[in-house]
Amino acid sequence: MNDQAEIMPSLPGEMALNLLQTISDWGNTTTIILHGGCVFEFKGPFPKGSMGEGFYNLKGETGFEGHLNLDKVSSIKLVSRPHRGRESHSFVFLNENEETMFKIFLGRDPQGELLTHQLESFNHIKKAGSIS
C-alpha cells in the first residue's frame, strides 16, 4: 500500500442497513464516532440491531449500544489508507452535508494484522459496489 489515501466510490446511503447487518457478523472491528470535538472509539464486534421507531437500534452484548437514524446516511465511502505506517481500511458513513457520522475500521488480530476474512469482504464490496 502506498502512502496516499485511496478513496473508493461511495455506496448509496440506502445500503447502510444491509452493510451494518453484514459487518455485525465479521467479528472485531473498530468503530469511531466523531462528535463536538470528541473522538469515541469502540473495539469489538459491531452490534447487531433491528429497525424500530425509525431507528436502527443496536443491541450490543459488550456495552456498545445506540440508535442510528439510517435515513441520515447519504453515502458510505470505502477508504483505504496507511495509518501509522500500516494498511488500514474503513467504511465512512456520511450525512447529506458530506460530514462524517461514524467510521468502521477493519479489525486486527493479536499481532496487529488485518483480519483476512474482513479484508477479503471489504475488497469484494469495493469491487462489486454492493453488499452480497
Any idea where the domains of the chain sit in the sequence?
6-128
Q: Does the reported pTM lie above 0.85?
A: yes
pLDDT in tens, the chain (132 residues): 455 555 567 899 999 999 999 999 999 999 999 888 999 999 999 999 999 999 999 997 778 899 999 999 999 999 998 888 899 999 999 999 999 999 999 999 999 999 999 999 999 999 888 887
**Per-residue pLDDT at 85:** 86
| Predicted local confidence at residue 3, as pLDDT | 53
The pLDDT value recorded for residue 115 is 97
Per-residue pLDDT at 77: 95
Give the pLDDT score at 21.
96
Rounded to whole angstroms, the Cα distance separating 63 from 42 reads 10
Q: Which pLDDT value is given to residue 5?
A: 55
> What architecture is the 6-128 domain classified under in CATH?
3-Layer(aba) Sandwich (3.40)
The pLDDT assigned to 23 comes to: 97
Exposed, middle or buried, 116 (CB in 10 Å: 0-12/13-18/19+)?
exposed
Any alpha helices (H) in the chain, and if so which ranges?
Answer: 16-23, 116-128
